[in-house]
Structure formats: C-alpha cells, structure tokens
Structure 1
Amino acid sequence: MIPATTPYVARYRQTVDLSDGTQGSYTTDRPVLAWSDSGYALVAADERGQLVHANSYSNFTGVAPDEPHIVSALPATGWGVQYRDDDGTTFTLPLVAWLIESSGECRPVTVDTDGLTADPRHDSNFVRLTEPSEQEAAA
C-alpha cells in the first residue's frame, strides 16, 4: 500500500427519483486515502472499517485530483502588496498572511475593511508583492 500524499477523490454517481417521475443524478466524492501496490485507489469502507478498492462500488465513475485545502497559515509580517491607483501612482498595503495548501502552494492573503480575505494577485490593479527588506528601506 502506498499512502496518498497528493489529494485525490474517487467519484460516484448517485441517482434519485424526481417528483415528475424521471430520474436525476449527482456526484459524490470520497477521499482517496492510499493506493494499492497494483495502482488502484483505496477508500474507506465505512460499513466495514477497512480500505477497499474505490472501483469496488458499482456506481464508481473515476478518480480526480481533489481541490487543495488549507493546512496552515503563517503571518506575513513586513510583506506588502503594491497596487496601481487610477491616476497611475502606486501604493502599498500590508499583506496579512500566507496560506499553505495541501498541494504545497503558498498563497498571499489580504483583508479588506469588511473582514473579507482575498488573494491580491487576482485584483485588477495588483502590481506585485513587496518583501520586508523593501518596507524597511522605504522607512
């Protein structure tokens, strides 16, 4: 057995009877916890308390990479985000944290006056991230 170090999910199609007499379907996911020595995805069989091949269920549709999730947050002391104003000048606001994802990616985070967080790299007026040494030199 090989531990699943990169997040994957096994996908399963569920069918439901709708009120109009037709059938609908939706997909559910189970996390892949490990891989068998022969390369099969293994999931927890809740009713049996053991790992089983993901494809042992008749409604199995496949395996896909899972969305990364946050595993840690680190303070971004001294880091800043430089933006361009409408008149072309730039200004810098503090970066508050670095979010570490299960994929290994490290994302910068800002907080607005309403307490909402965002990755500043997606802002239309984002210019760049500034390092602590740049903040110290400007002071």
Structure 2
Amino acid sequence: MIPTHIPFQARFRHQQEGAADTFSFKPVAAWDVDGDALVVDESKGCLRLASGYSNFAGVFPADDVFVGVIPGGGWEVLYDVEGEPVVEPLVAWRVRQDGVLVATDTDKDGFTFAPSSLGNFVRLVAPGEPRPISLDETE
C-alpha cells in the first residue's frame, strides 16, 4: 500500500431513469502496489479498490477543499431535460478554502454535486429572475 500525498477523489456515477446522472465522491486513502485507488469501505471498516464498486467512474485530483456551506439563497439551476427546461432550487453554495463559491445541487439520495458538472446543465437562475419557459430564452 502506498499512502497518497496528493489528494485525489474517486468518483461514482448514480444513474436514475428519466433524470440526469449524478455523482458521489470518496477520498482516495491510498494506492495499492499496482497503483489502483483504495477508498474506505465504511460498512466493513477496511480499504477496498475503488474500481471494485460497479458504479466507479474514475479518479481526479481533489484540489477543492471546502471550508463551509451556505444556503442556496433563492438561486435555481436550469437543466435541459430532453429539450425541455427544468428548473430546480439550488441547495447550497460550498465555500472553498480560497473563497470561491461552488453551486451545489443534490439528488434524491442526498448525493451532492456541482450542477455545472452535468451534461444537461444550462445555467444558474438568479433570485427574482423570471423562470425560463423555453430553452430558447436562455441564450
């Protein structure tokens, strides 16, 4: 086992019929002798291969260290769902250690993600801004 000195995260895809894919993340705790990412399996109390999960979707550098969370404050997220606009409330803003705010949404299972990471993300809708009734209004 090789300890990780540069933070990485393993990403896991959650697919739901009729909804956009979402992702959850686990920090990479170490690397095995073959260079494969190991994550903590909380239920078994041990390390296991991230690639051993059926929904494993790769690893990436974990350069976003979050130091706080604030409510979404009336912001909304506009998605393109099969050509139709779908507006959902923004759950929160995560605050990175460098002060940058990251918009945060969640799926029905409580997994959080940045809406802009999804392929059907269109844009954020500011508080008080009229909700788009068609995707043509977003340009």
Q: Provide TM-score, normalisation by structure 1.
A: 0.49
The TM-score, its normalising length taken from structure 2, stands at 0.49
Q: Which has the larger radius of gyration?
A: 1
